[in-house]
């Protein structure tokens, strides 16, 4: 597990491991320039819970110089 994935997971746990929103697969953080996946979502199906907990991981990646964004994946 990379550091950004770990940060995202820890924030999701801190927020109560909620599972709110539409079931989406492939949720992740991507690099805007290359579209490469930089971090994987915690084990949550709900896209709202994933998006509510992603910011600390995005902040970490920004500190490392990445122009990263949250990708909602696809509706399942």
- The whole-model pTM stands at 0.94
Q: Centre a 10 Å sphere on the Cβ of residue 51 and count the other Cβ atoms it contains.
A: 16
DSSP bridge partners of 60: none
Three-state DSSP class for residue 69: strand
Taking only the tens place, the pLDDT of each residue in 35-54 is 999 999 999 999 999 999 99
| Angle between helix 55-63 and 3-14 (nearest 10) | 150
Dihedral sign computed on CA atoms, order 75, 15, 52, 40 = negative
Q: Is the Cβ–Cβ distance between 32 and 71 less than 8 Å? A: no
Give the angle subtended at the CA of 26 by the CAs of 22 and 32, to the nearest 5°. 110
Please say if the pLDDT value at position 25 is more than 70: yes
């Amino acid at each position: 597990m990379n550091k950004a994935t770990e940060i995202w997971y820890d924030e999701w746990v801190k927020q109560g491991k909620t599972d709110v929103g539409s079931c989406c697969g492939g949720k992740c953080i991507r690099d805007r320039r290359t579209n490469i996946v930089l971090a994987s979502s915690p084990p949550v199906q709900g896209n709202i819970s994933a998006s509510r907990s992603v910011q600390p991981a995005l902040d970490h990646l920004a500190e490392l110089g990445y122009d990263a964004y949250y990708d909602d994946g696809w509706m399942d």
